[in-house]
Amino acid sequence: MFAGLCTLVLLTLDLGHLREYLYYASKGVVPQMPIAKEWLASYQALMIFVASIWRFYTNEARSIRNADGSHSVPSLLTILLGWGSFFGASALFGVIVWGLLDGLPDSQKRTEASFPAHMNADVVCLQLLTLIWIGYPVVAMASRLGHWGLPGSYYSASWSTFKDVSFAFLDVTSKAGLAVFFVLKASWVDGATENALVAAGKLHLNVTG
């Protein structure tokens, strides 16, 4: 959990930095984020904490194993806390995705604004690496539905494999994908060009603002 907390918070900050860069480099064609990246990163940490209540504290609101080996239905409070934390975490997730992607121009607007190829790639990267996160709650919900009605202490080997492989794929795609993108980007455009775009954008925004 701690590792996921650190990596997802840092990933959110990195994507927020990319969004801020696009705001200046595009001279405002890409608008500022509706929520500061620091707030989005804090929401990410809160989301992981709330999701851990659903997964670990309430055991996904599944049945409770008694000392004699039998199972009993969880209390109404446990059910409400479990599903409430799941949907609460999903709501926080939705705010994070919205905050990172809201206002991004479509391909037509980017063409009209004469976006260079590397900035088009930045926009697509930001969209893909943010939207890939949708897979996490989808996989978690699919696994929970796959165990519907089964004892709370039982976990299917097939569903466990599906969940682990899916999360591993999502982790590699979203986290390693960002690193690979920036390594490749370094061969497309140098730092001096990007710094010049940012400086020109800040000057333009200060004059027009």
Backbone angles phi, psi at 115, to 5 degrees: -65, 130
Structural domains in the chain, sorted by start: 2-208 (1.20.1070)
Instruction: Look at residue 73 and give its three-state secondary structure.
Output: coil
* Helices then strands, each counted (H, E), the chain: 9, 2
**Mean pLDDT for the stretch of residues 1-25:** 85
1: pLDDT strictly greater than 80: no
Confidence at residue 5, expressed as pLDDT on a 0 to 100 scale: 62
Dist. CA 100–CA 20, nearest whole Å: 10
Of 27, 25, 33, 26, which Cα lies nearest the Cα of 198? 25
Per-residue pLDDT reduced to its tens digit, 14-64:
999 999 999 999 999 999 999 999 999 999 999 999 999 999 999 999 988
Confidence at residue 4, expressed as pLDDT on a 0 to 100 scale: 57
More confident residue, 12 or 65: 12
28: Cβ contacts below 8 Å, ≥ 6 apart: 201, 204, 205, 208
